[in-house]
Structure 1
Amino acid sequence: MIDYGAAKAALVNLTNALSKEFGPHGIRVNAISPGPVATDLWLGAGGVAETLAATADATADSVAATAAAQAVTGRFTTPTEVADLALFLASDRVAGNVTGANMTIDGGFTTETH
């Protein structure tokens, strides 16, 4: 988790720095931070759920169910929801003044404080 945390912090910092550098030129820069997404990365063979299950004497299904239950919504984010957020951020009409943001889409899985 150390490498993930360091990379995530770097991405958020880079997003903020690029938004300040390129914003005056009309270029918006934002980041999307998804939590568990219902894809093969989490749910497929060799995915996170299966890998964690092997170390915890559990099943991949039980690991996935536990992860989903940790979200306020009780489920994984869908790939379509992540894509829709990207479309929202790309829209000049609805997000034309959004820049330097880190948008978390995880159903309340994580709690961020600012």
Structure 2
Amino acid sequence: MEFPTRRTAVVTGVGAPRGIGRVVARRLAADGWSLGLVDISGDGVVEITEELRAAGADVHGVATDISAPDSVSAAFAEFDAALPPVVGLVNLAGIANPTPILEITLAEWDRTMAVNATGSLLMIQAAARRMVEVGVGRIVNTSSITAVDGGGTFSKTAYAAAKAAVLGLTRGAARELGPHGITANAILPGPIDTDIMGGRLTDERKAAMSAGIPVGRVGTPGDIAAMVAFLLSAEAGFVNGVSYQVDGGKHIN
């Protein structure tokens, strides 16, 4: 199937001013995508939607709880009415959990799984149903290097388990949706300078974190956006079921 000229990418997790989601949205708008923007923060969605519209982008934002099926369905109904066909999905929304394994409550565990894993599934189901009709699609899920190393200061076992589940979800989606012309891949960010790291990184914290990274620095949201842009592109049609560690070589397999 030919890659559509007029096409929409749905991006979750765009609410945080210093988050990866906003940088990804800006990059995709610059690449010619129409955008359906999603975040649980209504104010955050409005901010980035207005910013991109002012720059001339075709954007529709919806405050959405990705862990709630009815909320996801309502968001996609709005995208169907306002935007070109959905061809891309970028699952960036997530929550960290720093609670140690012996202290975490079941409620914390369930919420961490609901946002990081179940939310990704619900978004994939809604987006892929539309991609099947178009005959082509690109799905990019966000796992974490925590799925490999088990976590650290700001994310421990529950987050590691949820992000490991995203890897299995990605591989299953790649296998089942591939015959429909839909690819699914995952990105595992390493240390990225966003507020999910516990707030703005000071120069001292950056230096300490960079010491174990071969390229000598922590990552930026732009590093992730560049990988997302490639995986959503027409040229990435034979890349499927792959997990990319974007961590400067911190974890070399």
Structure 2 spans left out of the alignment, 5+ residues: 1-155
| Structure richer in strand, relative to its length | 2
TM-score by structure 2 length? 0.36
For CA contacts below 8 A with separation 6 or more, give which structure has more relative contact order. 1
Aligned length: 98
Structure 1 residue 69 corresponds to structure 2 residue 221 = no
Look up the match of 1:37: 192
Tell me which amino acid in the other structure corresponds to 2:245. T
* Cα pair distance change 1:48/1:12, threshold 3 Å: farther
Alignment partner, residue 231 of structure 2: 89
Larger radius of gyration: 2
User: How big is each residue's C-alpha offset from its partner over 1:12-55, in whole Å with a ceiling of 9 and x where there is no partner?
Assistant: 1110001001000001011111101122333xxx4286xxxxxx
Give the whole-Å Cα distance in 2 for the aligned partners of 1:77 and 1:7. Answer: 22
Higher relative helix content:
1
Q: CA RMSD in A?
A: 1.7
- What TM-score do you get using the length of structure 1 for normalisation? 0.76
Identical columns (%): 43
Provide Cα deviations, 1:50-103, integer angstroms capped at 9, x if missing partner: xxxxxxxxxx5433311111111010111111101001001122x110011111
- What residue is the counterpart of 1:57 in the other structure? none
Tell me how far 1:109 sits from its aligned partner: 1.4
Q: 1:111 to 1:4 in 2, by over 3 A?
A: farther
Instruction: Work out the CA distance in 1 between the residues paired with 2:240 and 2:212.
Output: 29
1:108 aligns with 2:227: no
Q: 2:190 touches 2:219 (CA, 8 Å); kept in 1?
A: yes
CA distance in 2, matches of 1:74, 1:48: 18
